[in-house]
Structure 1
Amino acid sequence: MGTTMTTFRELHEQSAPLVLPNAWDLGFALAFADAGFAAVGTTSFGVAASAGLPDGDGSSRTATLALAAEMCRLPVHVTADIEDGYSDDPGAVAGLVAELAGQGLAGVNLEDSAAGRLVDPAVVAAKVAAIRLRSPAMFVNARVDNFWFGEQASVEEVLQRARTYADAGADGIFVPGLVQPDDIRRIAAGTPLPLNVLAHPTLSVVELGALGVRRVSSGSLPYRAAVDAAVNAVQALQGGSPLPAATAYADMQARLVAFRRHRAG
């Protein structure tokens, strides 16, 4: 973490939800930091897809860990999407997170699914407890995937898992795929931990906050939007349409040079 004064935990306790952009390379992380966001996360989908790999099978492990280490040099809080911790062994997961904590990482997302299926919540709880023991300051955001994969997709089942992870020492609950306002409200009210959701297709951040959400992640949205924007820009060039506005080369180059100098120093 850099010089941000408000702690990462405190960002989940403010009047408005924390908006968390998710980066897939250092250039985008720099851009998000330069835009004024207090915290930046990684996106496993973006990291994997940018290497031509599918998401969710641990294929982005090496790239994600390298990216997180570089991002920790930025003057923002950094949280990493480490899928299921890349291991079934709680000790191994805790060791990995401890290494990241030593580099300045503020938080991790830990999924309760593998290969597109929910896993035994006791397995995830053991990982959370092991992380808490090794890295007590780490913000552990336990991801509950019931709605994401359409398995045991009910408020009651989500809350049962959320309570298990809270008892194990989790700091936040992330429920991707949660889109119905009443479900959001009930889950936010039913857990003592800050509720994190993905950017909503129809509800604004303000509206999500009114439902009890404390953190809104962009997820892979910026990556997918950037891919579309890149294709559209070249199609405009080919078709003779007006070209889209873009940050000047010199400005982006200066940002990269400044970061390199800071890293070297």
Structure 2
Amino acid sequence: MTTQAQRAQTLSALHAAPEILRVVNVWDVVSAKAVIALPETKAIATAGHSIAATFGYPDGENIPLELVLDMVGRIVEVAGDLPVTADLDAGFGDAGETVRRAIGVGVVGANVEDRLKPLADSVAAVEAIVRAGESEGVPFALNARTDAFVRAGDRPVEQSIADAIERGRAYLDAGADVVFVPGVLNADVTRQLVEGIGQRKVSVIGLPGALSAAEYEALGVARISYGPTTQRVALTALQDVAKSLYADGVIPEGTRALN
């Protein structure tokens, strides 16, 4: 069994590797087990939006942190030697303390978003997270998220690119492992972000209309995750089969007993 520090080092190594790290987001133990069972799985990432929805809360730190950490801890238990990186929203009011508590349930990395707060405040949050990892003896792999695109409003894309680069460089200087820039990023924008932030230092989200993982990999992106969309796929399948069953359908052949 690997130590927590070793799992953190593994996650950082996966970020730095030439091959893009593909993490399929999970939201509870059974979804985690389904993904863990695949030999391609190298790390587990939780989706904050999906965990909140599981408990009936809207996204955006409306769910109590205790519920989030309880679920994440349960996922860590079934993940074994696989590193688990958690979505911790904006840090629930105290990013350093929240990460310290997340480390306490076995997490070795996290997304923490800046919500476009003043840069100095956002850098201070990154520094607090890094200190929390150091104090707990875990080289915490922070996927520092900037909302330069998702909260851009109607400003020109060039301004969002420049903002993401400025923030990304500052977060890396403060000790972040990689910089998460969510949004539907085309090849030209992605190329500029990688040039400005660094090869294998940009993390993206796979959304309808975005590039494929292989295309992002060719552009030098470190990691791709899928946020709440994996839960949406699962719920779409559930609703579709329910509609079929109401119409006197049957459970589809080939349904696997994954629970």
Report the TM range for the smaller structure's normalisation: 0.7 to 0.9
Partner of 2:19 in structure 1? 16
CA contact (8 A) 2:92 2:98 kept: no
How many residues end up aligned between the 2 structures? 242
Partner of 2:236 in structure 1? 228
Q: What is the 5 A alignment of 1:2-151?
A: 7-36=10-39, 37-59=41-63, 61-73=65-77, 74-75=79-80, 76-87=82-93, 92-113=94-115, 118-136=116-134, 137-151=139-153
CA contact (8 A) 1:174 1:197 kept: yes
Query: Which of 223, 226, 236 is the matching residue for 1:218?
Result: 226
> TM-score, normalising length from structure 2?
0.86
Instruction: Measure the CA separation in 2 of the matches of 1:34 and 1:167.
Output: 36
The structural deviation recorded for 1:209 is: 0.5
Partner of 1:229, secondary structure, is helix
> TM-score, normalising length from structure 1?
0.84
Partner of 1:256 in structure 2? none
Instruction: Measure the CA separation in 2 of the matches of 1:240 and 1:207.
Output: 43
The structural deviation recorded for 1:200 is: 4.0
Task: Answer with 104-113 or 61-70: which moved more.
Answer: 61-70
Partner of 2:162, secondary structure, is helix
Instruction: Measure the CA separation in 2 of the matches of 1:38 and 1:48.
Output: 24
Aligned AA (1:246): T
Identity of aligned residues (%): 32
More strand by share: 1
Partner of 2:205 in structure 1? 198
Instruction: Measure the CA separation in 1 of the matches of 2:129 and 2:123.
Output: 10
Question: Once superposed, what is the RMSD of the aligned Cα atoms?
Answer: 2.1
Partner of 1:237 in structure 2? 245
Partner of 1:180 in structure 2? 186
Any stretches of 5+ residues in structure 1 without a counterpart? 253-265
Partner of 1:247 in structure 2? 256
Pick 1 or 2: higher relative contact order, CA cutoff 8 A, min separation 6: 2
Instruction: Measure the CA separation in 2 of the matches of 1:127 and 1:205.
Output: 29
Partner of 1:158, secondary structure, is helix
The structural deviation recorded for 1:81 is: 0.6
Aligned AA (2:118): D
In structure 2, the CA distance between the partners of 1:199 and 1:236, relative to structure 1 (3 Å rule), is same
In structure 2, the CA distance between the partners of 1:18 and 1:121, relative to structure 1 (3 Å rule), is same
Instruction: Measure the CA separation in 1 of the matches of 2:64 and 2:86.
Output: 12
The structural deviation recorded for 1:242 is: 5.4
**Deviation by residue 1:1-49 (Cα, 9 ceiling, x = unmatched):** 8689881111112232111111111111111111231111111111111
In structure 2, the CA distance between the partners of 1:242 and 1:183, relative to structure 1 (3 Å rule), is same
Any stretches of 5+ residues in structure 2 without a counterpart? none
The structural deviation recorded for 1:164 is: 1.7
